[in-house]
Amino acid sequence: MTRLGLFLCLASSTTKRTFATISTMERKIIAVCQLTATNDKDKNFETCKSLIETAKESRAQMVFLPEACDFIGESKDETFALSEPFPGPLMQKYCQLAKNNNVWLSLGGLHEKVSPTKVRNSHVVIDSSGNMAAIYRKTHLFDVEIPDKGVRLKESDYVERGKEIIAPVETPIGRVGLAICYDMRFPELSLVLARHGAQILTYPSAFTFETGSAHWETLLRARAIESQCYVVAAAQTGRHNKKRTSWGHAMVVDPWGVVIAQCYEGTNMALAEIDLKYVDKVRTSMPVWQHRRLDLYPELVPLKNEGDIANENTVYQFGQTSVSADAVFYRTPYTIAFTNKKCVLPGHVLVAPIRPAKRIQDLTKHEISDLFSAVQKVQKSVENEYKANSSTITVQDGVDAGQHVFHVHVHVIPRRPGDFKENDEIYRELEKHDKEETGWRSESEMANEAAALRRHFSPS
């Protein structure tokens, strides 16, 4: 089986079929679905239930359902009547379904009742224990009229717009960034999610036939290429009622922009393999994140105030790897300081620019100034915490200088008498320390150290 993985479609939503055994020790298998929802909620649920159970039989670890997988009403009044507040009876049924099948679910857009005249279009992720792991409310509403195509939809008449981007969700298949349908026309959102560490973007949709035939695949491939993420797009398909028909063609696109799985007319599920190492490979071979000219156009991520560690779910890109907010103990508009996965000496921490940049020469003057101002403050904090009165401060800038993570970072290492017999031994140790298999710290150890170091910084 190649990296492109599986391209398997099922003939109908009620068909049960067992595929050849797939080893999931390393492979991360997902199922992307399409269906023709109507105003019959019970029937729609049974269709989704069948898809989920079949996906589980095929060893999928996460199942992606489309926007409006709960129902598509024939009028605004019917939409309000069928909608439920969260967590309502339908949500509870899906939570139990996820738990029973030990599988993660992406419910691509449920009608969440918030008032007698408004609903939210809410993308819900449920974990394999049956808990709601994240909820994203659609931020871009589809208010479009194309007279010559017979298209007129005004989502804002009955949908309340979402107010925030949700940090990527940690799942068994990788970090998933959440969006819904029309959101895919706004590349800023995909870049923000990728900037926050997303490896997979998902756009569950109910694209109209007219716009889908013109733009569906082009937009999805563009979002994958620019973000260097997998893109997963579950879809509504076919005729829902006399007023509405959807395009379908649910698909999965890899970070290079290749469609690796797709549902065609008459099919309702495709399986695909997610290879997170391939995400890293694409980002290394085409290093667009290092080439972005944020000195010429605005930053893509709203920045918090100095000292603010941001949302606890925030993930920062750090070269070929990532850093969770739990490990960050200091932040400025341009810089983060975080605890180290592998330490030469106790208190060995790293300071790096938030924007991915490979070399010091790639930094703007503002970033350079902010980086070393942060180093000065961090040095003081780690020396106080570890009862030291000296520090080794060094940058391995480039491969020949020993750089292994291709993102500018400064090592700050508190020093005490006798920690090395000869002082320069520390540089030899630094050169080899992260090449050895032993001594790697756990996430909880890093988080505990970060919590201790945060106390040395006054709130902003």
Query: Catalytic site residues?
Result: 67, 138, 181, 409
**CA separation for the pair 125, 132 (Å, rounded):** 6
User: Alpha helices of 33-113 — where are they, by DSSP H?
Assistant: 41-57, 76-82, 89-101
Q: Tell me how long the chain is.
A: 460
**CA separation for the pair 329, 345 (Å, rounded):** 18
Please provide residue 259's backbone torsions phi and psi, each rounded to the nearest 5 degrees. -75, 115
Please provide residue 173's backbone torsions phi and psi, each rounded to the nearest 5 degrees. -100, -5
Whether 231 contacts 201, CB under 8 Å:
yes
**CA separation for the pair 251, 240 (Å, rounded):** 20
Of the candidates 267, 257, 259, which has an alpha carbon nearest to the alpha carbon of residue 235?
267
CA 126, distance to chain mean position in Å, is 15
Dihedral angle sign, alpha carbons of residues 295, 298, 303, 306? positive
Of the candidates 190, 5, 445, which has an alpha carbon nearest to the alpha carbon of residue 453?
445
What tokens does 354 get? 């938030």
